[in-house]
């Protein structure tokens, strides 16, 4: 039976700009996914706990504050500790190419979407990769 893809969209850290996160939430909704939107100023602990309770396939992290090299690896680390490695983690926001490469190669972030990314590309990526590791 087809399972509805569930995505947690969260804003880690202290920046207060969630327009991008809302645009993504809306696009994923229109693509038939269930989006759990948790709001601003989430700690990595809050994000991982919400992902656990909601049993999501994907976590989408929107971050514009520049703190991504601190907060995003922390999310991945907590997911590993909870044995939730099967959750796909993607990020969006202002993240340099160098940082994006490090996040992908070292810190378990599956994909980084920069400004100007077409939401259709994000939908297609999630459809192709969500829940692949899940039993």
Residues that bind another protein (CB under 8 A): 1, 3-4, 6, 25-26, 28-39, 45-46, 49-50, 52-55, 82-84, 135
Is residue 123 helix, strand or coil?
A: helix
For residue 80, the minimal CB distance to another protein (Å) is 14
Quote the CA–CA distance of 36 and 38 in Å, as a whole number: 6
Cβ proximity to another protein: between 67 and 84 the closer is 84
For residue 86, the minimal CB distance to another protein (Å) is 9
Cβ proximity to another protein: between 28 and 90 the closer is 28
Q: CA angle, corner 59, sides to 38 and 115, nearest 5?
A: 90
For residue 64, the minimal CB distance to another protein (Å) is 19
Cβ proximity to another protein: between 86 and 101 the closer is 86
Widest pairwise Cα distance in the chain: 41
For residue 50, the minimal CB distance to another protein (Å) is 6
Quote the CA–CA distance of 74 and 46 in Å, as a whole number: 12
CB-CB neighbours of 26 under 10 Å: 13
Cβ proximity to another protein: between 4 and 105 the closer is 4
Tokens 């490695």 — which residue? 85
For residue 77, the minimal CB distance to another protein (Å) is 17
Cβ proximity to another protein: between 82 and 96 the closer is 82
CB burial class (10 A; 0-12, 13-18, 19+) of residue 66? middle
């Amino acid at each position: 039976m087809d399972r509805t893809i569930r995505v947690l969209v969260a804003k880690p850290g202290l920046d207060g700009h969630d327009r991008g996160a809302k645009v993504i939430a809306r696009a994923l909704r229109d693509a038939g996914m269930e989006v759990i939107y948790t709001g601003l100023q989430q700690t990595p602990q809050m994000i991982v706990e919400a992902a656990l309770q909601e049993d999501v396939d994907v976590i989408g992290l929107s971050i514009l504050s520049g703190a991504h090299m601190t907060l995003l690896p922390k999310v991945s680390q907590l997911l590993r500790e909870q044995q939730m490695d099967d959750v796909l983690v993607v990020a969006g926001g202002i993240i340099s190419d160098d940082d994006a490469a490090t996040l992908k190669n070292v810190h378990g972030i599956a994909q980084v979407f920069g400004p100007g990314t077409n939401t259709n590309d994000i939908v297609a990526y999630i459809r192709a990769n969500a829940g692949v590791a899940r039993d």
